[in-house]
Amino acid sequence: MQEDSLMKWLIERLKYLTVRRFLNRAVSEFDSALRRTRVASYPVFLIVEPCNFCNLKCPLCPTGQRLPAERGKMTMETFISIIDQLSPYCWHLNLFYLGEPLLCENLPVMIDYARWRKMEVSVSSNLNLLSEEMADRLIDANLDHLIVSLDGTSQEIYEKYRIGGNFNKVIDNIILLNQKKKQKVSPYPRIEIQFVVFKHNEQEVPLIKELAAKLGVGFYLREGTLGGKEQSPPLTKDYSLAEQWLSPNKEYHKGYDYFERKPYIQEGYCGYLWKIATINWDGSVFPCCWVFEGKYKYGNIMEQSFKTIWNNELMQSSRSLFKKNKRSRPDAETGGPKTICYQCKMFKHICNDQC
Ligand X SMILES: C[S@@+](CC[C@H](N)C(=O)[O-])C[C@H]1O[C@@H](n2cnc3c(N)ncnc32)[C@H](O)[C@@H]1O
User: How near is the Cβ of 58 to ligand SF4 at its closest, in Å?
Assistant: 3
E strand residue ranges, the chain = 45-48, 92-94, 120-125, 145-149, 190-197, 218-223, 276-279, 284-286, 299-300
Cα distance between the two ends of the chain: 34
DSSP state, residue 304:
S
Q: Which of 47, 58, 74, 193 contacts ligand SF4 by CB under 6 A?
A: 58
Under rule CB under 6 A, residue 318 binds ligand SF4: no
**Residue 348 touches which member of ligand SF4, ligand X, none, C-beta under 5-8 Å by kind:** none
Could you tell me which of 240, 287, 274 has the C-alpha nearest to residue 259? 240
Q: 9: part of which helix (H) or strand (E)?
A: helix 3-14
**Residue 196 touches which member of ligand X, ligand SF4, none, C-beta under 5-8 Å by kind:** ligand X
User: How near is the Cβ of 317 to ligand X at its closest, in Å?
Assistant: 27
Which CB sits closer to ligand SF4, 100 or 204? 100
Give the CA radius of gyration of the chain.
20
Judged by CB under 6 A, the chain residues 110 through 169 that form the site for ligand SF4 are 126
Could you tell me which of 36, 149, 142 has the C-alpha nearest to residue 98? 149
Q: Which of 50, 99, 234, 287 contacts ligand SF4 by CB under 6 A?
A: 99
User: How near is the Cβ of 225 to ligand X at its closest, in Å?
Assistant: 4
CB under 6 A: which stretch of 95-103, 166-174, 271-279, 324-332 binds ligand SF4? 95-103
Chain residues in the site for ligand X (CB under 6 A): 54, 58, 60-61, 63, 96, 98, 100, 124-126, 147, 149, 194, 196, 222, 224-225
Under rule CB under 6 A, residue 61 binds ligand SF4: yes
Under rule CB under 6 A, residue 107 binds ligand SF4: no
E strand residue ranges, 44-186 = 45-48, 92-94, 120-125, 145-149
Contacts of residue 45, defined as CB under 8 A and 6 or more positions apart, other chains included, come to 90, 92, 94, 275, 276, 277
Q: Does residue 93 contact residue 44 with C-beta atoms inside 8 Å? A: no
CB under 6 A: which stretch of 20-28, 53-61, 236-244, 340-348 binds ligand SF4? 53-61
Residues that bind ligand SF4 (CB under 6 A): 54, 56-58, 61, 63-64, 98-100, 126
